[in-house]
Amino acid sequence: MAPPIIRRIDLADAAQIAALLALLDEYAAGPTGRGYGLDAEVRNRLPAVLAERPYYVGWLAFVDGEPAGVVNCFEGVSTFRAQPLLNIHDIAVSPRFQRRGVGRALLAAVEAEARARGCCKITLEVLEGNASAIAAYLKAGYEPYALDPAMGRAMFFERKFY
């Protein structure tokens, strides 16, 4: 197998949009997603919604010309450091290409971008039961987040509006 080729997502490129949506659909439908794919309305709206966001950046990984992985990121700000940060919102590797360095290559692209932007850190969230992803993140140098160990680790919450 050839090493992955990483390309910054061009939301004006129909083939890249198709790859992005196919990979996100596969991720959503899988065991670390929600168990079913993206709604048709979401598939139709997502490229424009991402294109409207000036702080969005993403990459696709290709192996032998096939879409193998995706990472979607958004720039934010660390108010405690007064510096930008890059948040990984989605990272997914197609099961056909897992354990072949695709995720590592996507994380390297994110890190290079974060450093180029002068970011103080990269953040991400992961489900507690996703042991393989947690192991990959730990191996790549990521750590659970805590400001003061006496207060414990950060937890991720959401409040849905629909």
Q: How confident is the model at residue 162 (pLDDT cuts 50, 70, 90)?
A: confident
- CA–CA gap between residue 110 and residue 138 (Å, rounded): 16
- Residues 108-161 have pLDDT tens digits of 999 999 999 999 999 999 999 999 999 999 999 999 998 898 999 998 898 999
Contacts of 80 (CB under 8 A, 6+ apart): none
CA proximity to 17, closest of 58, 52, 53: 58
What's the whole-model pTM score?
0.94
Please state, rounded to an integer, the average pLDDT across all residues of the chain.
Answer: 96
CB 24 within 8 A of CB 38: yes
Helix or strand run (H / E) with residue 107: helix 102-116
Is it true that domain 5-151 has CATH number 3.40.1390.10? no
- CA–CA gap between residue 126 and residue 139 (Å, rounded): 14
* Eight-class DSSP state of 82: T
- Residues 20-39 have pLDDT tens digits of 999 999 999 999 999 999 99
